[in-house]
Amino acid sequence: MAKVRNESANIVIVGSGVAGSLMASRFANHPGVVILETGPSIPMGDPGWWFHHVARGGGTGNTPYAAFYDQAADFDATGANPWNIQGGRIFGAGGTMLHWGGWVPRFKPEDFALYSNTGQGIDWPFGYDQLEPFYNQAERYLGASGDSSDNNPPRSQPYPYGAAPYPISAGPFIQAFARVRPAIGFGHLPVARYGQANGMGGPCRTTGTCDYCPVAGRFTGDQPLALLADNPNVSLRLGAAVTAIRMVNRQQVAGVTYTDMNTGDTVLLDAQNVILCNGAFEIPKLLQASTSSYWPKGIGNDRDLVGRFVSATQFFYASGTAPNPQKFEEELGFPSLCSRTFDAPQYQKDGKFFISMNYETPNIDVGLMMAQGYSASQIRDACTAPAKYQLYGNLSAIPQFNNRVSCAVGTTRFGLPRTSIYTPDPLFDPLKAQIYVDKLKTVLAQMGCTDVGWGTYPQRGDHVACTTRMANDPNLGVVNPQLQVFGVDNLYIVSNSVMPTLPAANPTLTLVALAMKAMGSDTALARLAKSA
């Protein structure tokens, strides 16, 4: 029979993804650190699962985390272009990092000054130069591989590992980039894949199955949790659906309330400090749901900013078919070629564009054809047949006040409130986006592609951010530059949700750098870490 339990902890961390596992690692010398994760443990880096995955033809649907995505019944999406967040995030130990692509580009200096440069959104409370030392730390933590000679944006230290090589199939793209006018620059895409074995896993063996790696050669959020498994100071509680934050008074958190999904119990977990790392959808919902006489509109929400400005990068693609006499075949399970030509200051007002090549094509499964009894000549013909080539790009988002995340009626199978995503205002200008798509089409035409088409993927909320944005002024944001919720002494948010704006580049590296900065020498979290 379900009951109410009263328990206590020193530091409660809500969410076990990249931010939550990092915070747990940094506070591992404190007794009484509790990580609350609503999902289960999911096997990763398991060769047995990998063989199962490969034998069934690969693809995310054959991974052990496939059952833990949002379902259609878990959210309501309304607006001009309603989102469909199925397949975007994972509920489980390690979080959405279990399926991320591992792309770790830095933001550019201009990305921290969107308002100053364009009149859109707001500026960050600090600039690139202030975050750059922590980018170095973040790259070491994630095990980034990249081209250290590429100094755009500027860097003061080399990558931990050398750049992933271009596959042979990148050759036609590189040649076409040089032939278009004006020429399009290119470079190595930084990726969080280990160049040599370390405490986390690896090294990367380029199996081409990066949606499920057999050797843990890519950073995933569960790896730090595994290193903490025997630490008596840290406890990971799975099936813990946090539904409210309780207050002692307006300035002081008392703890959290969660449902133990294994027993049905309601747990009142007191805490000295609470760190929210459970993502840009769940964090604003939790703050909104935590109403009291101290915070009648929800914690941090007196100015109606919690959940506002929800942003995500939009994905566009162009593809076509070209002869393949060279038998080009994808060798990697991730892209290593990118272009930041349009991710530059002169494009910021219209929205910046981060380009990469599709790493899934051309691809002929020779082993499967052999197993199915195809002859050598049939396999040879398939390998030299016209192949599909594709480029795609992330378009930076325009933050809009009216676009909002909030709680919907009902609960999910994980015990959390359902999600409402209301996006009446566009995140991008379609006419400007078409200019970039035309650039992609021009490259493919230079490659000799025919039947060139283009499209945009349905908005899944990848890289979702900005819902509890950071600012110097509580009239403009929800957290201060030290990631404390304004007006609350012992409540912190470490998530993409604190980003004031969302550029074209992938945000995970910047999130880790923000966390490192918040743990700097003279910050509230740093003082907390030193108090053990």
Looking at 130-139, 178-187, 250-259, 362-371, which range is the least confident one? 362-371
Confidence at residue 364, expressed as pLDDT on a 0 to 100 scale: 76
pLDDT at 269 over 70: yes
Of 487, 482, 470, the C-alpha closest to 292 is: 487
Sheet hosting strand 75-79, strand order edge to edge: 75-79, 417-423, 404-411
Domain limits, the chain: 1-50+62-117+124-145+217-310+404-424+465-532, 146-189+314-395+428-461
Task: Report pLDDT digits (tens) over 306-359.
Answer: 999 999 999 999 999 988 887 777 777 788 999 999 999 999 999 999 999 987
Please tell me the distance from the alpha carbon of residue 506 to that of residue 512, in angstroms, as a whole number.
12
What single-letter DSSP state applies at residue 470?
Answer: B
pLDDT at 504 over 80: yes
H helix and E strand count, the chain: 12, 16
pLDDT at 486 over 80: yes
The confidence band for 69, taking pLDDT boundaries of 50, 70 and 90, is very high
Higher pLDDT, 123 or 1: 123
The confidence band for 90, taking pLDDT boundaries of 50, 70 and 90, is very high
Please tell me the distance from the alpha carbon of residue 448 to that of residue 176, in angstroms, as a whole number.
9
Please tell me the distance from the alpha carbon of residue 97 to that of residue 142, in angstroms, as a whole number.
11
Sign of torsion, CA 448 451 453 457?
negative
> What mean pLDDT comes out for the span 144-170?
95
> By percentage, how much of the chain surpasses pLDDT 70?
100
Q: What is the largest CA-CA distance in the chain?
A: 76
Of 8, 25, 7, the C-alpha closest to 16 is: 25
Structure tokens belonging to residue 272: 């000295």
Would you list the DSSP string of 279-310?
Answer: HHHHHHHHHHH---SS-TT-TT-TTS-TTBT-
pTM: 0.96
Quote the mean pLDDT of the chain. Answer: 94
Confidence at residue 86, expressed as pLDDT on a 0 to 100 scale: 96
Task: Report pLDDT digits (tens) over 376-394.
Answer: 999 888 888 888 899 999 9
Q: Which segments of 337-392 does DSSP mark as H helices, in order?
A: 366-371, 376-384
> What mean pLDDT comes out for the span 222-248?
97
Confidence at residue 532, expressed as pLDDT on a 0 to 100 scale: 59
Q: Which amino acid is at 180?
A: V
Structure tokens belonging to residue 483: 């990631």
Class of domain 1-50+62-117+124-145+217-310+404-424+465-532: alpha beta
